[in-house]
Amino acid sequence: MLAVTLNPGFVPILAGLLVLAAPRVARAPIMALAALTALWLLLDHEFGAASAMAQMGLPVVLLNLDALNRIFGIALLIALIFVAVYSGARRNRYEDAAILMLAGGAVSALFVGDLVSFVAAAALAGLSAAWTVFASPVEGANRAGVRLLIWHGLEGLLFLVGVALHITAGAASSVFARLDVTSMGGACIFAALLIRVGAPMAHVWLKDVVSHASAVGGAALSVFTSMLGVYALARLFPAEPLLVPIGAAMIVIGAIYAAAQDDLRRAGAYALTAQTGVCVALIGVGSPLALAAAEGHAFAAVLAFAALQMALGAVLVRTGDARLSGFTGLARAMPLTTLLMFVGGLAVAGAPGFALYATQTVALEATAQWELRGVWLLIAALSAMLFVSLALRPALVAYRVVAKPSAFNEAPFPMMLGTSLATFLSFAIGLAPRWLYDLMPAELAFQPFAIDRLAPQLEVLGVAGLAYLALHYTALAPKTLPWRTLDIDALYRGPAASAGRWAGVLLLRAYGAWQAGATRSGYAAGRLLGRVAKLCDQPFAPRGVANAAQLLSIGAILVIILVFR
């Protein structure tokens, strides 16, 4: 009997093609059904490789399930269900198809067992992410989509070069296994994954696309993009020392820019970069406890940031913007959305009772060593920074009393339902994290609510909150941000882009001048040869001139014969 094993990620890809022809009322159910079917295929299959074949002498493994990719797959497919429910409030079949392709590419990349298939699935996810941005009605989305294509093009080029160099090591070397970052192939793949997770210098693409995507697209991009890179780093480069300082730099950059942003969707993207940095640093530590913490932290971050971006997307739909400066009196117009936004801010900050707190305590335990004290301090301080930036600060502005309150204008019901489901699951896991610990590859017996772990977290959040409240009510903290923050993409899109344009103009002018000179030289040489030939054909020309012309012609012919003989 022929047994056909289907990669769970193929189901959303097929559903993405189906929703292009489906009516509006059927698209959200199709998305949810695709996620549930893929989740059933994932949970029904036993650990191990399946659907392996050989192509061009290389092993191709379309499905390889283990504890590491299972926890990432469950997180992404659960998030796809929430996104499907959330998407029922608007009409955009192209964005629905793009999101399904994005989710399908990311999930397929999780479960393949060879590098060639992984690169193909990751490339599909990258192209679908750009499609999601192009489908957005937000101003500037087209330019942001082009910039994302450039980033993914660079990532894809590094992947292809790295895999090509790595395959030359042997016929079976494409199997998904640990790579050496000191080899040329491993270094190229490592660099490509750093782009995917948003490492320093490449972190700007995430905040760029999330802030230009639609409400649904922003949530989907937060879930299905950078976490694929975290999985691949945990699979291919565990215990790589370079990842510790890279992750620490991501935490610092993400926390600082999240606190300095007026656009809260962009601030949420920076916060995601910071929490991704926690995962990257833990993978670099490489101990079994640190790897388990990284995988659980990625799972919790998917749910928390899906909830936060959904709440901010609901504000975007109703007000046309998600800037902190426009939140004054928002609690009167959108009370439930404001509450969900505040709770989402608590979730991404790792407040006790939420999933990120349950995994953050494990991360702190894994880095509680003297040589890792810097990483420990950054993880502990990140909660306070994100609590003030994404929970307390928006709440103070939204609940500010205004002379002329806005009319009631709550978000559509599907958006509220999707946000509530994501928030509820993040809260439920935070209160009972035992089953999340059981999903981790390492055996983990941990008590996150022990007093010696709970009390320091409450103290950090409480001190940070009281300090900000004191600054706020004494008018020492600005009510609106008086500055416009610039990141490294200001260099990419400013001086670097201008220099590239000027270099292109100069090269085009130089090429044009060379082409015109060559044309004129050709015309002059042709006229000269014509005159020489005419002298040879004129029998009544002066004898000296004719003889000289004939002698030169014969000499040139002889030279050509000798040279090309």
Q: pLDDT tens-digit profile of 164-184?
A: 888 887 645 567 778 889 888
CA-nearest of 99, 88, 104, 102 to 27 is: 88
Pair (451, 510) in one structural domain: no
If pLDDT is split at 50, 70 and 90, which confidence band does 157 have? very high
Structural domains counted in the chain = 2
Per-residue pLDDT reduced to its tens digit, 485-531: 777 777 766 676 677 677 778 888 888 888 888 888 878 877 777 77
Q: Is residue 284 part of a domain?
A: yes
Pair (500, 450) in one structural domain: no
Pair (458, 514) in one structural domain: no
> What's the CA gap between 527 and 525, in Å, rounded?
5
Per-residue pLDDT reduced to its tens digit, 199-236: 999 889 999 999 999 999 999 999 999 999 999 999 99
Pair (302, 421) in one structural domain: yes
Q: Assess contact for 416 and 310: CB atoms under 8 A.
A: no
Pair (516, 437) in one structural domain: no
CA-nearest of 197, 384, 376 to 282 is: 376
If pLDDT is split at 50, 70 and 90, which confidence band does 550 have? low
As given in the structure block, the two tokens for residue 157 are: 């080029």
> What's the CA gap between 178 and 67, in Å, rounded?
16
Higher-confidence position of 154 and 56: 154
> What's the CA gap between 492 and 300, in Å, rounded?
33
Q: Is residue 323 part of a domain?
A: yes
Work out the angle between the directed axes of helices 288-319 and 264-285 (0-180°, nearest 10): 170
Pair (399, 530) in one structural domain: no
What does residue 351 show for φ and ψ, rounded to 5 degrees? Answer: -70, 145
Higher-confidence position of 130 and 505: 130
As given in the structure block, the two tokens for residue 201 are: 């210098």
Q: Is residue 559 part of a domain?
A: yes
C-alpha to C-alpha distances, 483 to 37, 91, 268, 478, 480, nearest whole angstrom: 48, 36, 19, 10, 9
Q: What average pLDDT does range 89-117 have in this prediction?
A: 91
C-alpha to C-alpha distances, 275 to 151, 220, 250, nearest whole angstrom: 21, 17, 8
Pair (376, 471) in one structural domain: yes
Q: Which residues pair with 114 in a beta bridge?
A: 175
| pTM of the predicted protein model | 0.87
Q: Is residue 11 part of a domain?
A: no
Contacts of 12 (CB under 8 A, 6+ apart): 31, 34, 35, 38, 80, 100, 101, 103, 104, 107
Which of 484, 509, 536 represents a domain boundary (last residue)? 484
Which of 462, 484, 506 represents a domain boundary (last residue)? 484
If pLDDT is split at 50, 70 and 90, which confidence band does 565 have? low
Work out the angle between the directed axes of helices 495-536 and 543-563 (0-180°, nearest 10): 120
Q: Which H or E run includes 340?
A: helix 335-349
Pair (539, 391) in one structural domain: no
Which of 484, 513, 547 represents a domain boundary (last residue)? 484
Domain range for residue 358?
238-484
Output the pLDDT for position 82: 95
Pair (377, 452) in one structural domain: yes
As given in the structure block, the two tokens for residue 115 are: 């590098």
Pair (544, 453) in one structural domain: no
Residue 7 has pLDDT above 50, yes or no: yes
Segment among 177-191, 286-300, 479-493 with least mean pLDDT: 479-493
The Cβ of residue 529 has, within 10 Å, a number of other Cβ atoms equal to 12
Q: Assess contact for 268 and 389: CB atoms under 8 A.
A: no
> What's the CA gap between 197 and 178, in Å, rounded?
18
> What's the CA gap between 217 and 460, in Å, rounded?
33
Q: What average pLDDT does range 522-541 have in this prediction?
A: 68
DSSP states of 474-504 as a string?
TT-S-SS--S----THHHHHTHHHHHHHHHH
Q: Is residue 137 part of a domain?
A: no
